[in-house]
Structure formats: structure tokens, C-alpha cells
Structure 1
Amino acid sequence: MTIPNLLIRDETQADAAAISDVTIAAFETLEISSHTEQFIVTALRRAGALSLSLVAELDGRVVGHIAFSPVTMSDGTSGWYGLGPVSVLPELQRAGIGKALIRAGLARLKEMGARGCCLVGHPDYYRKFGFENADGLALEGVPPEVFFALSFDGHIPQGTVTFHEGFAAAGE
């Protein structure tokens, strides 16, 4: 489904409050969420670790957001990023906005010279973008069936992934 007038663009400083609002709303009723996603985005932004931050704008209003930040691979492989969180206002979920954000974000990562991307997410959703459970690559404390990687250069790092410390944010 294509949404007419949907604009995917880089976040600006003026978008920070709207991104926080969208993120809170998107995860509010999600049982598996610890409801700290808005704090994670803020912590990544403050640390200068939002390597790529895109918003989905519809009729001048921010309705979605996606964040990418650098990750560290225990085998020393560089150029990998973590995807998350990705947020869409509840009333617009399942309309293709999240997919548009993910596709645009992955394309931009490739343009930036990234070697790959990983995430924690729903198995049925992220496989459609090419993400796979990667043998030999893990995120400590996360079940392997919900940890995914997508290599842009054919090489899957081996060992463990460490996301930016901003992912531990639990408040402002």
C-alpha cells in the first residue's frame, strides 16, 4: 500500500518532540515493550550516536520515525548499525509507513557505505526485508529467534553484537 503525500526525510532539531510523542504512542500498548524507546532515541541523539534518523511526514505532521546507530562486533568487524526503534502512530500502523521507513533507511545505510544492519524484532516482519537469524552472531540476553542481521557485503560477523549504551536508557 502506498500512502499519497508520505514524505520520508532526515529528522531536524525541530522534530525531537514529535518523534518522542510518536515513539511513546507507538509502543504504549505493546506488551513486550519496556516503554523506554523514547528515552533510547533521546540518549542516542544526545550522544551523537543517531547515525541515521528519518521521519515519515504526512500532511506536515510527523507520523513515524526510525533510528539507526552504530554497533560494535566482538570480532572487530566495522561498519555495522543497529536498527531501532522504529515507530508509527497507532492509527496509521499497518499502512506501509514502517516499511517505507525501513526501506529508505536501509538504502541510506548502503549509500553511507555500511556493511550491515542488525536488530531485535518480530520474526514474521523483518524477514521480508532480507533480515535473517545469523549463525554465529548473537546479542547477549536476546533469544536468537528475535535477533536478526542483514549483510550488505555478504560477510556476517561472528561473535556478539553490542548496541550503543543509549539502549540502556530508562528515563530522561
Structure 2
Amino acid sequence: MAPMLIRSAAVDDAAAIHALHNAAFTPHNPGVTGELPEARLVDELRADGDLLPELSLVAVREGQVIGHACSSPGRIGDDAKSAIGFGPLGVLPEHQRTGAGAALVHATVGAANALGYQLVMLLGSPEYYSRFGFVLAGTLGITPPVAEWAPYFQALPLAAYRPENHGAFRYAPAFDRL
């Protein structure tokens, strides 16, 4: 298998990122045709100026964008640097299970830690994300924006984490428009 590069997403990557999220999430959206919510979310985060450039990363293999992970500002309470909302994370179906997703998670976590964020928050599979150290957010006293999300709403405490920082988490506004 060809080597993979993780780099910051560029403006010219927007179409490839949109297409890969549609492809990656098609199996999870049976019966849905056209643009999928995950692809639309990334586009809306970008349009709102809420894609954090240093945390919007692509995996590239042989010149092709095969994966994308993005993060947007989030907050717990009034602390604007308390947390980021991670996701969506997508990898083209033919490149899944090749390490691209894991590499994007590790790169995001490392960058978020270096930038001084306290927590990485996400909505996703506990079976997948627990291997990176994510725990159910409720165990840290953090509640999701939608109560039904609790079994899938996860947090990863980073070096700057303060246990007294708990309460309701808020994603960037584009999440509210899904």
C-alpha cells in the first residue's frame, strides 16, 4: 500500500472532501439519495467560518484525498477554549480499515492538545473511539445537546483538562441546523 500523508485541508480540497463524506456515509444512511447530512455539515461549518483550519485535516494517498477529519469550536459553559467538536470523520470506502481514520484521529488529538484545548467531544461509536481513550461524556459530567445522544456522546480529556469544567456541551451552530 502506498504511503499516506496527513496535512491541513486546503481550499482546493473542498469538492473532494464533500464527495468523500457522501461516499463514506452512504452505508449509514440507507435510502437517502443525494447530499448526506455529514457532507452538508462540513460545507456549512466551512461557510460559517467554524472549521478550525489547524484541525481540518486530510489523509492523502497517491495524490488523492482519501479521508477527512474536521473540528469546530465547542464550549462547555462560558469557556470558549474548553472543547472542540470533532467530526465528521470520513474515509473513502475503498480506503477504510487501512489506518487512515486512526491517523486522522491521532493527528487531531495531538494538534488539539498542542493548541491548549481541554477536551475533544464527539458523537460516534464507543466501540471505535474508545481505543483512542474516549469515554462517555456523562462520566465526566458533560451532557450532550440532545439527551438521546448520551450513549454515543464521548469526550477525550487533554493535558489542559480541568475536572471542574462540566455541564452542557454546545456545538457550532451548523450542528443545530442538521
Q: Same fold judged by TM-score > 0.5? A: yes
Between the two proteins, what is the percent identity of the paired residues?
A: 35
Select the residue among 136, 143, 147 that pairs with 1:138: 143
Residue 28 (structure 1) aligns with: 26
1:98 aligns with 2:101: yes
Q: How many aligned residue pairs are there? A: 167
Corresponding letter in the other structure for 1:83: F
- Alpha-carbon separation, structure 2, partners of 1:154 and 1:73: 12
Matched-pair contact (CA < 8 Å) for 1:43–1:169: no
Residue identity in the other structure for 1:155:
R
Deviation string 1:29-71 (CA, Å, 9 cap, x unpaired) is: 1148x83111111111111111120000000000000001110
In structure 1, distance between residues paired with 2:22 and 2:51: 18
What do residues 69-102 of structure 1 show as CA deviations (whole Å, max 9, x unaligned)? 110213x233210100000001111111100000
CA contact (8 A) 1:78 1:115 kept: no
| Equivalent residues of 2:42, 2:88 under 8 A apart | yes
Question: What SS does the corresponding residue of 1:82 show, helix, strand or coil?
Answer: strand
Within the alignment, does 1:46 sit opposite 2:47 as a pair? Answer: yes
Q: Secondary structure at the match of 2:69?
A: strand
Partner residue, 2:166:
158
Q: Which has the higher contact order (CA 8 A, sep 6+)?
A: 1
Aligned residues of 2:2 and 2:62 also touching (Cα < 8 A) = no
> Distance between the aligned counterparts of 1:169 and 1:151, measured in 2?
27
User: Are 1:86 and 2:85 counterparts?
Assistant: no
Match of 1:127 in 2: 130
> Aligned Cα RMSD in Å?
1.9
Kindly indicate whether the alpha-carbon contact (under 8 Å) linking 1:50 and 1:69 is maintained by their aligned counterparts in 2.
yes
- Counterpart CA distance in 2 for 1:9 and 1:67 is 12
Kept in 2, the 8 Å contact 1:73–1:161? The answer is: yes
TM-score (norm: length of structure 2): 0.87
Amino acid at match of 2:92: L
Gap regions ≥5 residues in structure 2? none
Preserved contact between residue 123 and residue 149 of structure 2 (Cα < 8 Å): no
- Out of 60, 76, 79, which is 1:57 matched to? 60
In proportion to residue count, which structure has more helix?
2
| CA shift for structure 1 position 126 | 0.6
Partner of 2:154: 148
| Most deviating of 119-128 and 148-157 | 148-157
| Counterparts of 2:116 and 2:133, CA distance in 1 | 18
- Residue identity in the other structure for 2:95: L
TM-score by length of 1: 0.90
